[in-house]
Amino acid sequence: MSRWPLWGVLAPVDPTRLERRARAIVMQDWDEEGEEEDGEELPFEFIAGSGRYHAIVGMDLRDMGVEMPLAEALSLECEEPVYSFDRANDPWIILSWRKGASDVEEVDPEALAESLGCPLPGREQSSDSPERKPLRTVALIEGVRAEEARRVLEEDAGEPLAPGRYLIEDTSRGLLLAGGTGGMNFAHIVLSERLPHATVYGVTASPSLDAFFVSVLRGGECIGLFAQPPREDSFMPAVSDIKGERSPQRILAALGIPPQWFLNE
C-alpha cells in the first residue's frame, strides 16, 4: 500500500479468518472463495502483526463505514477488544468493540497499532504530506435549528458543549454542522438517529475536493451515497446526484456549504 490508510480494523483474530470476514463484508459481490470480479484488486490490505493482533486497512474513502460492522462482528467472537478507526474526522475516531458494543478511545491510531504489534503503513510520510492532510465532514441538516441540535448533542454527551466544540450555523437551507475543537465525531449521525424527521447530508471531502462523498441520512440510516468518482460496488445505495447537481462545487452550492469549511485551517 503506497498511501496512508483511511480506515482499518485491528483484531486478535487468526489472519485467514480476518481476511475472509473482510472480504465478505467489504466485497459483497465476490464469491465464497473470494475471487475478484474481472480481475478487480482488493480495496484493502492485510497486515500481519507480531503478536495476537492483525489488521485490515483500506485506502478508499468510498469503503469507509465497513470497518464498524466488521469490528462489531469480530468482537462477538473475541474475548479481547477489537479496534476500528476511520479518517473522516479530525482527529481520527478510534472505537474499541467488546461483544458488539463500542466505546470511543482517546488514543492515537498509529500508537495503538504499534502497541499491539501491528504498525500501520505510511508512518514514514511527513505529516504535511497531501495524503495525510485530514479529510473533513460537514453536514447540512434540514428540518433542525441550532437550539434543538445543541440540546440533542448535549444530551448525548451528558454535559454542556464546550465553546467551539462544534461549528453550528442556522441558514435558509437548514443547519450547517462541522467539527470544531474535537472534530465531527459522528454528531450528524447522532442527530439523524435522534431526530428522524430530519434529512441529513453529510459531506466528507479533502481540502481540494478531489475526494468528495455525500451520505444522505434519515433516521440514522444511509439512504443514498454520492461518490466522486462514482463506484458501483459500494455497500451503500448509490445516487448519481445531490439536489440535481453532480459536481462537488455545485453540490456544495446547492447545500449552502462554504467550500472553505474543508480547508482544515
User: What is the predicted pLDDT for the residue at 9?
Assistant: 93
Phi, psi dihedrals of residue 41, rounded to the nearest 5°: -80, 145
Using one digit for the tens of pLDDT, what is the confidence trace for 184-213? 878 999 999 999 999 999 998 888 888 888
- Closest residue by Cα to residue 83 from 105, 115, 59, 58: 105
Cell of 115: 502497541
* 128 — pLDDT class (breaks 50, 70, 90): very low
User: What is the predicted pLDDT for the residue at 140?
Assistant: 98
User: What is the predicted pLDDT for the residue at 210?
Assistant: 84
Residue bearing cell 491510531:
109
Residue type, 103: D
SS3 percent helix, strand, coil of the chain, rounded to 5, is 25, 30, 45
> 205 with 242: CB under 8 angstroms?
no
User: What is the predicted pLDDT for the residue at 32?
Assistant: 39
Across 236-260, average pLDDT: 93
| More confident site: 262 or 33 | 262
Q: What is the pTM of this model?
A: 0.65
Using one digit for the tens of pLDDT, what is the confidence trace for 10-62? 999 888 888 888 777 766 544 434 444 445 566 688 888 999 999 988 877 66
* 142 — pLDDT class (breaks 50, 70, 90): very high
Taking the CA atoms of 70, 195, 169 and 146 in sequence, report the sign of the dihedral they define: negative
* 3 — pLDDT class (breaks 50, 70, 90): low
User: What is the predicted pLDDT for the residue at 126?
Assistant: 39
